[in-house]
Amino acid sequence: MQEIIRDIKTNAEYIKIKHKSGLTILVWEMEGFSSSMALFGTKYGSVNTTFKTKADKEYTSVPEGIAHFLEHKLFENEDCDVFELYAKTGANANAFTSFDKTAYLFTCTGNFKESLKILLDFVQAPYFTKESVDKEQGIIGQEIQMTNDNPNWKVFFNLLDSLYFEHPVKIDIAGTKESIAKIDADLLYKCYNTFYNLNNMVLSVAGNVKVADILEIADSCLKDSPDLEIETVFPKEDLNIVRKTTEHIQPVGLPIFNFGYKMQPYDGIDKLKAETITNIIADILTDTASPFYKTMSDRGLINSSFDCEVFTVDDVFTLIFAGESNDPYTLYKELNKVIDEAKVKGLDKVHFENLRRENYGSHIKQFNNVNSVAEMLLADYFADVNSFDVLNILRELKFEEVQDFLVNNIDTARSAVSIVASKHIEVSI
């Protein structure tokens, strides 16, 4: 079954296919481009530690880090290393595990069909043994130690630990040395057979490709999968925070900070609209064109590292400001003052309109980049939206909606500070 997803205003389009195997396939044919990218992803990430299928009576809980562990192990099959196969086609292959998804991917300028066959074959052919699992525990243990030594990684997870009481988002994607020690081949097969069901996956392809070629390979490689109806649950969180400040001592130049504002989580199109609005609010208040940025820069409280993002996972929605500062607590107080004043005095309407247009143009610009398109298709599908929904949101977005959202959703009292510094900083909040 094929469906054309089209944006009437821009005439951009891609094809959505529900394959007989159960897999959803998304294809954006980009005529005139020489490269191609394919991602084979599953809606399974580090936060999916408690789950069941329609056939299960009870929930299963697994150790943190198992999704990332599984990603590593799938690259080894019974016969050879998958990268050796890609070396013969000339494709560049990789994979990633995030909080809520895992994806295996390749980019190429030739031999697309051969590379796609490799991708579909190896992801559907797990091979785990006690010996290989034991070996991987040592490798990933070293990786965990390296990330623990990374100050930017540490300040981020310390922030999440300050904001969320029980949600597994506060645990490193790779888990802990203690949690991965509990992983064995049986648990890996359990998670694989649950989440690597084709009904829980998507194949996203963009670039110099044809739908007919993709379906030819899919028909020959994909194994029919019954829909397991997976259910993942998370501990209930309210909007209270765990603690206001977290400080970690580690050798750095300037202190590194993350300020996090815990907000109400959303799903689907509501989440996309809330993300879009929150990003615009943050930019109005703090981007390089804002009075706040100029004042803080003139006072030496921020530098070019200052940035913000909206961080979302299932049941998690947080606005985060990050960067370096020689006085992060003063900066945090000044930021809160700007947020609270904007609730009363209002946002800059001209700045809003400029940002709305700028974001609209930036999104359309992504349509000219093969990798951006393929990654966008996958992320949007798992977010339960189509890749043109954000354009419609930006076209219709009103200033009054943004102002109301700020007043009702961003609360400085529900925020926390995480700092990594080379020595203790006197808390002044």
Residues marked active site are found at 71
CB-based contacts of 10, cutoff 8 Å, min separation 6 = 364, 367, 388, 391
| Closest CA relative to residue 331, chosen from 312, 311, 308, 349 | 308
Give the torsion sign (CA, 303, 261, 318, 253): positive
**Alpha helices for 256-367 (secondary structure H):** 268-286, 291-298, 328-345, 349-365
State whether residue 58 is helix, strand or coil: coil
Q: Which residues of 259-297 are buried (b: 16+ CB within 10 A; e: fewer)?
A: bbbbbebbeebebbbbbbbbbbbbbbbbbeebebeeebe
CA-to-CA distance for 273 and 394, rounded, in angstroms? 9
CA-to-CA distance for 382 and 101, rounded, in angstroms? 8
CA-to-CA distance for 417 and 336, rounded, in angstroms? 12
Is 87 in contact with 117 (CB distance < 8 Å)?
A: no
CA-to-CA distance for 223 and 121, rounded, in angstroms? 10
Tell me the two tokens of residue 410: 């961003």
CB-based contacts of 70, cutoff 8 Å, min separation 6 = 102, 188, 191, 192
CA 270 to chain centroid, in Å, comes to: 17
Instruction: State the DSSP code for 255.
Output: P
Tell me the two tokens of residue 166: 């029980």
Q: What backbone phi and psi angles, to 5 degrees, belong to 101? A: -155, 160
CA-to-CA distance for 350 and 356, rounded, in angstroms? 10
Is 207 in contact with 167 (CB distance < 8 Å)?
A: no
CA-to-CA distance for 352 and 284, rounded, in angstroms? 6
Looking at the DSSP bridge assignments, the partners of residue 92 are 107
Is 58 in contact with 134 (CB distance < 8 Å)?
A: no
- Give the type of residue at 283: D
